[in-house]
Amino acid sequence: MKSLLLLALFPVIALAAPRFEQSARRVDCFDFVEVTLALETPPSGNPFTEIMATGEFTPPGGASVQVSGFCDAADGRAIRWRFMPSKPGDYAFKVTCVLPGGVMQSHAGKFTARQGKRAGPVRVDPEHPFHLVQEGTGKHWFWNATTTYQLLAWDDETIAQSVDRLAKLGVNRIRVALAGRTPDGKRWNEPLVNRTANFAFKLEPWPAARPDDIPDPGYDVTRFNLDHFRKAERLLRLCRERCIEVSLIFFLDGADKGVDPFGKAGMGGEDEQRYYRYTIARLAAFPNLMWDVANEYRLFRDDAWAEHMGALVKASDPYRHLTSTHGHADFRFRKSPWADFAMYQSWDEHGGYGFMLKNRRDQAATGRPMPQVNEEYGYEDHYPYPWGEKRLWPARIADNRRRLAWEISMAGCYQTTGERANDGTGAGPDTGGGWVNGRGNDSMTMLVGYRRMMEFFTSFPWWTLEPRPDLAGENTLVLAAPGHRYVAYLPNSGKASLQLARGSYRAQWFNPRRGAWTELPPLPLAADATWSSPDAPDAGDWALLLEAGR
């Protein structure tokens, strides 16, 4: 009788002072409204496993969108929901929270979204599905990405400096790990990247009983490290203002000791699913986000797991951000509904033009075209011998990384690079870190060349061109919309040889190393013909842009 009396009284105690707060009544499209349930009394039990928070919001004239809430207090006294509107108008929402013991708290409200100038999530272009557009602006989006694996292991000041630097260099996407740990950079043959007062090789989504024990942190996977997720939110806000997409990696090198608390026995299980669901519930309302199910997943999981977790991510995300997973030289999810783009890891010339052109053709043959990305093709000045074939300096200097990026682009595909990490973190001048942790300095100039490549392609509608090796002569890579526009790339100088449709063309040389244009005399053709360009102006690589009717 006594226990029944306590159960009957519990709802009265919990309902004594519930308080719902709404962050704003008016927001721009692709910002978010946050609704918070503040509880006067902490609920019993573990709030991360025993509280169920659901919500929905209804756009003007549309169907309701389901969202999940998340706990944002270790004692469970703060539950939050986030609603990201995608078009202007008046929205209605409702949130519901079921506390331990079955006590229910509900709240309904309204907000207004105005047009504003914020960009929405990056989407696959339905008309040119090998390419991408930005929702809201409708602008096509040229992928210019770099790796910054352990960026979240820095202090906030260094994160802000690093993001600002990358934005000025034209980077519009960064790869960032949410979970990962290792003793130091020697794990990746980068001995100058070490732990410092401001940087630790620890990315901890869960509370750790032994945070300084790298291989055995003693994670409590039934709870979440709220400070870590708040730092991820600060990064997303900063990148949102800098027009940078964050590709969030759920696991970085999960085969390393201490990274994966679930192991083979727990893969895909309740605790691991909770990690993915919580991350999505908390972060999905940021528009500048992509999901990477895991980095090199096959080193610690199998294809069935990636299929299962990829589908879970897509089903859990009310905003359906671009999702994929990083594997190896083959992508095994070409037809999977959750996979929005294909990612590869193929280094050096093995991952260049021929490799990516084949991937694009293989993807097209499935009847489901989607963007193709070589996500990792050898970082600048990174020589991890004895991994694979022996390579020594200057095999991966900035210039040949840039040339490989051009080859990949000429295959109608995209790429993600990584800056050198042989300027130190905790060693030497302590101003670097490169691809390992995202920090760079003024001596690191590789990304200047990538910015020039992006400036070239975004000067015309690159997404309308197809790779056309059948129109190219020796030593020439070609993208074309025949009769309208041609791009030729000469990796080794010389002359460009092109099969052109009749017409009159404006022709321009572009110097990929300097970003400079040089006009050629107009080119009139009375009939289809093979055209040979003048000799390239010097012995470096060159690009040609031919446009009809100019």
Residue 7 lies in a domain: no
Give the SS3 label for residue 79. strand
Look at residues 67, 88, 114 and tell me which one is the last residue of a structural domain.
114
User: In 3D, which of 24, 54, 20, 50 has the Cα closest to residue 37?
Assistant: 20
Residue 3 lies in a domain: no
- Provide the pLDDT for residue 428: 87
**Phi, psi (5° rounding) for residue 355?**
-65, -50
Q: Judging by beta carbons within 10 Å of its beta carbon (0-12, 13-18, 19+), is residue 121 exposed, middle or buried?
A: buried
pLDDT band at residue 2, thresholds of 50, 70 and 90? very low
294 and 421 housed in the same domain: yes
Mean pLDDT for the stretch of residues 115-125: 96
Residue type, 212: D
Mean pLDDT for the stretch of residues 273-297: 98
pLDDT band at residue 411, thresholds of 50, 70 and 90? very high
- In sequence order, the 6+-apart residues with CB closer than 8 A to the CB of 354 are none
312 and 372 housed in the same domain: yes
Print the domain residue range for 60: 13-114
Mean pLDDT, the chain, integer:
95
97 and 233 housed in the same domain: no
CA atoms of 407 and 364, how far apart (whole Å): 19
- Count of the separate structural domains present in the chain: 3
What are 307's strand-pairing partners? Answer: none
- Provide the pLDDT for residue 1: 36
Q: Is the pLDDT of residue 476 over 70?
A: yes
**Side-chain-facing half-sphere of 89: CA atoms under 13 Å:** 11
User: In 3D, which of 86, 121, 79, 117 has the Cα closest to residue 100?
Assistant: 79
pLDDT band at residue 391, thresholds of 50, 70 and 90? confident
- Provide the pLDDT for residue 390: 80
CA atoms of 291 and 200, how far apart (whole Å): 24
46 and 145 housed in the same domain: no
Could you identify the residue written with the tokens 């500048």? 288
Q: Please give the DSSP secondary-structure letter assigned to residue 187.
A: G
Residue 6 lies in a domain: no
Asked whether 400 and 512 are in contact (CB, 8 A), the reply is no
- Provide the pLDDT for residue 8: 36
**How many other CB atoms are found less than 10 A from the CB of residue 448?**
15
**Phi, psi (5° rounding) for residue 170?**
85, 5
What are 526's strand-pairing partners? Answer: none
CA atoms of 38 and 192, how far apart (whole Å): 46
Mean pLDDT for the stretch of residues 65-81: 98
Mean pLDDT for the stretch of residues 431-459: 98
Asked whether 116 and 29 are in contact (CB, 8 A), the reply is yes
- Provide the pLDDT for residue 133: 98
- Provide the pLDDT for residue 550: 60
387 and 480 housed in the same domain: no
Q: Is the pLDDT of residue 161 over 70?
A: yes
Span 483-495, pLDDT tens digits = 999 999 999 989 9
266 and 348 housed in the same domain: yes
CATH of the domain at 86: 2.60.40.10
Asked whether 293 and 264 are in contact (CB, 8 A), the reply is no
CA atoms of 158 and 148, how far apart (whole Å): 13
Could you identify the residue written with the tokens 């991510």? 313
Mean pLDDT for the stretch of residues 68-87: 98
333 and 411 housed in the same domain: yes
CA atoms of 292 and 341, how far apart (whole Å): 11
Helix axes 303-316, 270-283, angle to 10 degrees: 40
User: In 3D, which of 334, 268, 328 has the Cα closest to residue 304?
Assistant: 268
- Provide the pLDDT for residue 5: 32
- In sequence order, the 6+-apart residues with CB closer than 8 A to the CB of 22 are 33, 34, 35, 36, 109, 111
User: In 3D, which of 134, 108, 105 has the Cα closest to residue 119?
Assistant: 134
**Phi, psi (5° rounding) for residue 237?**
-65, -45
CA atoms of 119 and 351, how far apart (whole Å): 32
400 and 469 housed in the same domain: no
CATH of the domain at 407: 3.20.20.80
Token reading at 498:
């092109």
CA atoms of 96 and 41, how far apart (whole Å): 18
Look at residues 409, 436, 463 and tell me which one is the last residue of a structural domain.
463
Q: Is the pLDDT of residue 177 over 50?
A: yes
pLDDT band at residue 11, thresholds of 50, 70 and 90? very low
Span 47-63, pLDDT tens digits = 999 999 999 999 999 99
Mean pLDDT for the stretch of residues 258-270: 97
- Provide the pLDDT for residue 9: 37
CA atoms of 67 and 81, how far apart (whole Å): 7
Q: Cis peptide before 386, with omega less than 30 degrees from 0?
A: yes
Q: Which residue has the higher pLDDT, 389 or 433?
A: 433
Asked whether 405 and 349 are in contact (CB, 8 A), the reply is no
500 and 413 housed in the same domain: no
105 and 54 housed in the same domain: yes
β-bridge pairing 342-345 and 485-490: unpaired
CA diameter of the chain? 99
Could you identify the residue written with the tokens 């949102």? 240
- In sequence order, the 6+-apart residues with CB closer than 8 A to the CB of 184 are 191, 193, 194, 195, 201
Mean pLDDT for the stretch of residues 383-404: 90
Look at residues 463, 478, 497 and tell me which one is the last residue of a structural domain.
463
Q: Is the pLDDT of residue 14 over 60?
A: no
135 and 223 housed in the same domain: yes
Residue 1 lies in a domain: no
Residue 77 lies in a domain: yes
pTM recorded for the entire structure: 0.96
CA atoms of 46 and 206, how far apart (whole Å): 14
242 and 322 housed in the same domain: yes
Mean pLDDT for the stretch of residues 77-95: 98
**How many other CB atoms are found less than 10 A from the CB of residue 9?**
10
pLDDT band at residue 13, thresholds of 50, 70 and 90? very low
Mean pLDDT for the stretch of residues 300-305: 98
Q: Is the pLDDT of residue 17 over 90?
A: no
- Provide the pLDDT for residue 385: 81
